[in-house]
Amino acid sequence: MTDLVAASGSDTAKTAVITETVPSGASANGELPPGDQHAEWAPLEPAPKKKRVGLWVGIGAGVVALGAAAASMILIAPGTSVAGIQVGGLTPGMAAETISNRLAETQVTLTGMGDDAVVTGADLGASVDAEALAEQAFAEHPLWNVTQWGGEAIPATITLDTEAAASALRSASPASFTDATDATVVFDAASGTYIVTPAESGTGINVDALSTAFVEAIGDGRSDLEFTGDPTEALPEISTETAQATATELNTMLAGIGFYVGEERTVPVAPAVAATWLTVENVDGELVVEADPAVIQATVDGLAAAVDRAPVNASNITDSSGNVLREVTAGQTGRALGDTSTVADDFAAQLADGNANFALAVTETPFETTAVVRRAEVDLGAQRANFYENDKLVNSWAISSGKPGHETETGNYKIRAHVRIQDMVGNNGDGTKYRTKDVPWVTYFNGDQAFHGAYWHNNFGNVMSHGCVNMPVSAAQWVYEWAPDGLEVNVHN
């Protein structure tokens, strides 16, 4: 029985025709046997039907128009493509799925040593921001804007996952691959320096070139391509040159590594010790130097014993005006090491940045300076030489000064020179020459007049010389060492 659809407002009571199925046993002409007669309703005269063709057509066109308008608000314009993939007539969601599927399903046949092995975009880790591109396609080329139908293709950045691609290609064509060997940097105990183990190249299928070919195929609207599976040179991540630069940096650090107080490397660190602190690791294709604070801490624990010290007072020899003639004892500030609780961590961070000079925080105690005023006196009348420190007599010896005609000159002088040993020559009173060999411990104070040792006589306390101050050899050595240049000498009668 055919279903009838009535338009709203139609008079069904006047158009319906009631029929029944002819009962079983009726004759061919439809008459019933006697006794089976029954009454039938005579069909009503059908009422004239109202023509509503225009109305029906109008309603259908309206529905179609409304549907098209709604679709135009959610669909991408015909002729729109993203990276060569047609997305016209699709919703952004469907377009994103279409883009992703095309990338995943695109097949690459490896020729040559690849032996026609096939890998897919999914195997290679092919990816693109499909959702963003689909939204862009809809935003720039909506179906409702007929001016954007068949517009410019939307470019896309398609990438292959390097690790996934390399793994897939190696599985598909293992004969094309030999592993490259990275250069390494290691500490050599014999030389006390870091040395380099050179890198070695390997072979493989060029993922960068494959990525370019893959993108071109997608852009051309193709879903398959061929690419050579023959091996090409595969460079190591860490080259010999990179490793050498790192070794040079480390060896520069080793040359000055230590804990400093000011400019002084107070606690040097031996290269072999420093090497136990440091490691050189390959991190994402770069050599990274790291230091272990826990290992550094062992050295930090011993810093106080090497750094702490008491002050040492300075002692200087001066003249009566306070001019320093000689430093007897160098002054040294005292110091005490400050807080070291973060030193190991801080030094580890410095070393990772290439700085091997760690500045220690110390508290300093200044030293005091003591001045010792020294002077010498030659008493010609007493034939003695006297030596004073801060006006206190510290030594005195009988001497032999110049005899008549060669008198030792009186006056105030200063030590001007020291000569360990020399020959002395001059004139005697009778005009003859004299030469005294190997005169020891000569300390000049006035021209050619000097304190010196006299090994040729023992007549001290009496005039004997040609103008110099003769002394016992041991006394002359004491004066030589005790009296600096500039020491004041007073010669008087």
Could you tell me if residue 245 is inside a domain?
A: no
Same domain, 378 and 474: yes
DSSP string of 270-283? -HHHHHHHEEEEEE
Contacts of 170 (CB under 8 A, 6+ apart): 176, 177, 204
Could you tell me if residue 17 is inside a domain?
A: yes
Same domain, 378 and 332: no
Could you tell me if residue 159 is inside a domain?
A: yes
Write the DSSP symbol of residue 128: -
Domain boundary residue, one of 365, 399, 420: 365
Environment class of residue 325 by beta-carbon count within 10 Å: exposed (0-12), middle (13-18) or buried (19+)?
buried
Same domain, 377 and 320: no
Same domain, 197 and 88: yes
* pLDDT score recorded for residue 270: 97
Amino acid at 292: D
Summarize pLDDT for 297-306 with one digit per residue, the tens.
999 999 999 9
pTM of the entire predicted model:
0.58
CA-wise closest residue to 331 among 363, 367, 365: 367
* pLDDT score recorded for residue 70: 67
* pLDDT score recorded for residue 178: 97
Domain boundary residue, one of 365, 388, 412: 365
| Contacts for 363-367: CB closer than 8 Å, 24+ residues apart | 363/335, 363/336, 363/338, 364/333, 364/334, 364/335, 365/310, 365/311, 365/333, 365/334, 365/335, 365/336, 366/311, 366/333, 366/334, 367/311, 367/312, 367/313, 367/314, 367/331, 367/332, 367/333, 367/334
Could you tell me if residue 24 is inside a domain?
A: yes
How far, in Å, CA of 270 to CA of 354, rounded? 17
Same domain, 358 and 262: yes
Same domain, 38 and 103: no
Same domain, 264 and 190: no
Contacts of 35 (CB under 8 A, 6+ apart): none
DSSP string of 300-344? HTTHHHHH-B--B-EEEEE-TT--EEEEEE--B-EEEE---TTHH
* pLDDT score recorded for residue 409: 98
Could you tell me if residue 424 is inside a domain?
A: yes
Q: What angle do CA 85, 155, 213 make, to 5 degrees?
A: 70
How far, in Å, CA of 408 to CA of 406, rounded? 7
Which residue range(s) make up the domain with 198? 81-204
Contacts of 228 (CB under 8 A, 6+ apart): 110, 111, 112, 114, 205
Domain boundary residue, one of 71, 95, 118: 71
Summarize pLDDT for 320-333 with one digit per residue, the tens.
999 999 999 999 99
Same domain, 117 and 169: yes
User: Which residues of the chain have a pLDDT value below 70?
Assistant: 1-72
Strands 433-446 and 417-427: antiparallel
Could you tell me if residue 249 is inside a domain?
A: no
Residue bearing tokens 């070139």: 209
- Look at the chain and report how many structural domains it folds into: 4
Same domain, 39 and 128: no
Same domain, 67 and 85: no
Contacts of 288 (CB under 8 A, 6+ apart): 280, 281, 282, 352
Could you tell me if residue 250 is inside a domain?
A: no
Environment class of residue 457 by beta-carbon count within 10 Å: exposed (0-12), middle (13-18) or buried (19+)?
exposed
How many residues are given for the chain? Answer: 493
Same domain, 288 and 324: yes
Same domain, 425 and 462: yes
| Distance between start and end Cα atoms, the chain | 165
- Crossing angle of helices 343-352 and 293-300, rounded to 10°: 130
* pLDDT score recorded for residue 426: 87
Question: Any idea what the CATH number is for the domain that residue 485 is in?
Answer: 2.40.440.10
Could you tell me if residue 488 is inside a domain?
A: yes
